Structure 1
Amino acid sequence: MTSDELIAVLRLQSIPNIGDVTAKKIISHCGSAAEVFSQKAHHLLKIDGIGTHTLRNLQDKIHLEAAIAELEFIQSQNIDYTYFKDEDYPNYLKHCIDGPILLFKKGTIQLQERKIISVVGTRNITSYGTAFCERFIEEIAPLNPIIVSGFAYGVDICVHRAAIKHGLQTIGCLAHGLNQIYPKSHGRFTSEIEQNGGFFTEFWSNSSPERENFLRRNRIIAGLSEATLVVESAEKGGSLVTADIAHSYNRDVFAVPGRVQDKYSMGCNNLIKQQKAHMLSSAADLIYLLGWEVKDVSSKSVQKQLFVQMDELEYSIHSYLQKEGKQVLDDIALECQIPIFRVSATLFNMEMKGVVRPLPGKLFEAI
C-alpha cells in the first residue's frame, strides 16, 4: 500500500460516524480510499449512509492532519499493518461485515492455513477454570491451532501462557494502541507472546483502554476464529458479548458447564441452556464438532472414557444410539419408551460423563 493510500485509510478510520461497514461501502464505490477524497460531493452523496454531516467530516482537514500524525508514529515504531483487501488480512475476519478496515499488528503472527480458536472468560478465574484451560490447551496442542484471546486478567492470560507452554502460536487482541500495554502488569508477558504469535489492534496510538474499546475489540476476537470457547463467565460479562458476536457471525460457540450455584459458571450454563453454545467437556468435543482431523492427536486426548458407570436409562439410550447412530431427542424418547423430559435430563448427564455428544440439528450420538 502506498503512503497516500494508507493516509486515506487512516483518515477514514478517524472520521466520526464512519464505521467499518460504511468505510468499506465508500471504498468499494470509489475504487480506493484515496479516491474517496478526490470525488465530488454529489457523487459521494449517492452512497447509502453518506449525508451532508458525514460529507463535511470527509472534507474536514483535521482528519487529514490526524492521519498524517498517526502515519508518522507507525513509521517511527516500524509497526506492521494489514488492510482488509490484503492477502494477509485474517481470512475469517474478511467474512465479517464489520471487520476493521485496517489492523495493526506486532510480533511473529502467521495465520496462513491454520486452525484458529478464540478462548475467553471471566477475569476472576477460579481454580476450576484454570485447570480446565490448561488441560484444554494440552489436549488440543497436537493439532497446532492458534489460540486467540484478549490479554486481560483471568482466562485470557491463562490461555495465552498455556499456549506458549505447549509451543502454540497465540494472539492477544488489544483495546488500545500498540504504544502501551493494558493491564500494565502483563507487560512481562509481551515479549514471549510476540515471539510466539503477537498482538492485533485496530486502535491508534492516542487510544486508551476505555470500556467501549473493549466491546469493539470483542468482535475481532470472535471474528478471527473458526469457533469461540467460553470457559467461565458470570451471568453478565464481556465474554458473553464475544460469544453473542461469534454466534451472529454463524461461528460455532462452545461453553464449559459448571455447577448451577457457581457464580462464574452461570454465563456458560445459560449459553448452553439457550442453545447458543455447544457444551464442551474436553478438546475432543470441539475437534469432533468442527470436523478437524484427529489422526495426529494422541489417543489420550480424544479417546472416550472407558468403563464409565451408567444407570439403566443411560445404558438403554447409549445402546440405542450405538445401534442406530445419530438420532434426534424425540426419536430417542419414542424408541426407548422414555418420557422426553427424562431423556433430555439423562442426555445431559451422559454428556457430562462423556458417553454421548450433541451435534448440529439437535442430534445426539454415542461416543
Structure 2
Amino acid sequence: MTIEDIALQMTPGIGIKGAVHLLECFGTAERIFEASEPELIGRAELRPEPARQIVRRTGFSAAEKEAKYCRKHDIKAIASTDPDYPALLREIPDYPHVIYVKGDPQTLAARTLSIVGTREMTPYGQSICHKLVERLAERVPRLVIVSGLAFGIDAAAHRAALDCKIPTAAVLPCPLPGVLPTQHTALARDILDHGGALVTEMHSQTRQNGTAYTARNRIIAALSAGCLVVESPDNGGSLLTARFADEYNRTVMALPGRATDRSAAGTNHLIRHRKAQLVLSAEDIIAEMGWDLEAEPAARRPHSETPHLTSDETALLALFRSSDPIAIDALQTATGFDPGRLATTLLSLELAGLLRQLPGNRYMKP
C-alpha cells in the first residue's frame, strides 16, 4: 500500500471502473501518477480534465489525511496490488482498488461462504441458518462466514459463526470504525474479538449518496466462491446479492420454502428460474461448492448428540424409540402439531442429521 493507492481513490473524475482501467494500463498507482498528461489521454484514453487532476496530484492532500485517519483508528488500507487483498474480490470487473479492514485481513483469504437473507427473518430461518453453519463448521476446515451485519439473516449468520467458534467477516456500507446498523456495534466488536474482520470500500471522506448498500452487496457476493440465500421475499437486498454472485460466476444456492410463505418467495423464485441451486443441508452446500473433504474430518469438535434442540424438536425426536420408520400422519396425530409446524420441525431435524426422510412421507432415525 502506498499513498498513491489512496490518492487514486481520492482523485476527482476517477471512479471505481476508471481506477480499474488505469491499473490495467499502467500496472500500479505509482506508475499512473508518474505518467504525463498526453500519456494518460493517449494510452488510457482519459478525458483531459481527469488526466490533469492526476498530473496535478489533486488527491494527495485527502490521501494524506486518510492515511492519518487509518493509523488513528487502527484501520488497514489494502490496495488491490497488495498480497493481503482478497483474491476472489480482485476477480470481479468492478473491484474497489482500496478496501479498509479492521481485524485480520487473512480472514478474507480462507474458505469463505456468503450467507444472506431477509431482514424480516422467521424463527425457522434463524434456526436453519444456525444449524447449517454449525454443521458446516464441523465439516469444513478454515471456514469463514461472510455477510453484511444487517438485521435478520445477516446477523444470524454472524452469530451462528461466533457460536460455532469460526471467524466471520462483515461487509459494511459505511466508513470504519463506524457500524451500520448502530444497534450491531456490540456484534461487530464480538466479530473482531474472535478473529474476524470488518470490511468496507468507503474511506472516511466518502459522501453518502444512498447507493452504499448496493455497492456493499456486490462485495459480499465477490468475497466468496458461493452465496447462500436463506430466506427472502420477492424483492430485497439478498436477491441483489444473489444477482451479483451469478454475474460473477459464483455458486448461488437457496433454501426452498412453502409456496405460501412470503419469506420464501424470493428463494423459491431463484430456484424456479434456475438462478440458484436448491440445498437442504450442509452436505448439499459442500457438494455444490466442490469442497473436497473427507467424509468426517478426524479433528471434529466434540458436540452433543442432539445439539440446540427446541422443545418441539425434542418432543418429535422422542417418538422415534426404535429404527422403525413412522408416517407423517402418525407423527401429526402423536404431536398435535399443525402441518406447517410439523414440516418445519422435521426439516430442522433432517438438517441436524437426526432424522431421514423415506419415500411415502415416512421418517426414521439414520
Short-chain TM bin: 0.7 to 0.9
Is 1:146 matched with 2:112?
no
SS in 2 for 1:99: coil
Native 8 Å contact 1:105 1:201 kept in 2: yes
Change (3 A) 1:39 1:223: same
Native 8 Å contact 1:149 1:221 kept in 2: yes
Which residue is 1:277 aligned to? 276
Native 8 Å contact 2:108 2:223 kept in 1: no
Which residue is 1:296 aligned to? 296
Whole-Å Cα distance in 2 between the matches of residues 273 and 64 of structure 1? 50
Change (3 A) 1:262 1:57: farther
Native 8 Å contact 1:182 1:209 kept in 2: no
Native 8 Å contact 1:117 1:225 kept in 2: yes
SS in 2 for 1:254: strand
Letter in 1 for 2:94: D
Q: CA deviation at 1:206?
A: 2.9
Native 8 Å contact 2:88 2:222 kept in 1: yes
Whole-Å Cα distance in 2 between the matches of residues 272 and 236 of structure 1? 15
Native 8 Å contact 2:107 2:197 kept in 1: no
Normalised by the length of structure 2, the TM-score is 0.77
Normalised by the length of structure 1, the TM-score is 0.76
Q: CA deviation at 1:83?
A: 1.7
> 1:134-158: CA deviations, max 9, x gaps?
1111111111410000011111111
> 1:9-61: CA deviations, max 9, x gaps?
11211234423333133134234212222311110012445112322443455
Change (3 A) 1:223 1:237: same
Letter in 2 for 1:248: E
Is 1:119 matched with 2:118?
no
Q: CA deviation at 1:62?
A: 4.5
Is 1:258 matched with 2:257?
yes
> 1:91-128: CA deviations, max 9, x gaps?
21122222211111111343486321000011111112
Native 8 Å contact 1:20 1:98 kept in 2: yes
**Count of matched residue pairs:** 307
SS in 2 for 1:132: helix
Whole-Å Cα distance in 2 between the matches of residues 112 and 249 of structure 1? 17
Q: Where does the alignment leave 5 or more consecutive residues of structure 1 unmatched?
A: 311-352, 357-367
Whole-Å Cα distance in 2 between the matches of residues 208 and 230 of structure 1? 30
> 1:278-312: CA deviations, max 9, x gaps?
011111111112222142358x99xxx996979xx
Q: Where does the alignment leave 5 or more consecutive residues of structure 2 unmatched?
A: 307-322, 329-355, 360-366
Aligned alpha-carbon RMSD (Å): 2.7
Whole-Å Cα distance in 2 between the matches of residues 306 and 21 of structure 1? 61
Native 8 Å contact 1:281 1:354 kept in 2: no
Native 8 Å contact 2:25 2:44 kept in 1: no
Native 8 Å contact 1:108 1:195 kept in 2: no
> 1:196-253: CA deviations, max 9, x gaps?
2111111111337653111111111111101000111111111111101110111100
SS in 2 for 1:191: helix
Native 8 Å contact 1:125 1:155 kept in 2: yes
Whole-Å Cα distance in 1 between the matches of residues 28 and 357 of structure 2? 53
Change (3 A) 1:281 1:146: same
Which residue is 1:206 aligned to? 205
Letter in 2 for 1:132: I
Native 8 Å contact 1:175 1:203 kept in 2: yes
> 1:168-198: CA deviations, max 9, x gaps?
1100001111131111111111221002211
Percent of aligned pairs sharing the same letter: 33
Match of 2:89 among 86, 93, 116: 93
Whole-Å Cα distance in 1 between the matches of residues 199 and 326 of structure 2? 44
Change (3 A) 1:7 1:308: farther
SS in 2 for 1:68: helix
Letter in 2 for 1:52: P
Which residue is 1:360 aligned to? none
Native 8 Å contact 1:120 1:156 kept in 2: yes
Native 8 Å contact 2:144 2:167 kept in 1: yes
Is 1:39 matched with 2:38?
no
Change (3 A) 1:185 1:113: closer
Change (3 A) 1:355 1:228: farther
Is 1:174 matched with 2:182?
no
Which residue is 1:79 aligned to? 75
SS in 2 for 1:45: helix
Whole-Å Cα distance in 1 between the matches of residues 119 and 86 of structure 2? 26
Which residue is 1:58 aligned to? 54
Which residue is 2:183 aligned to? 185
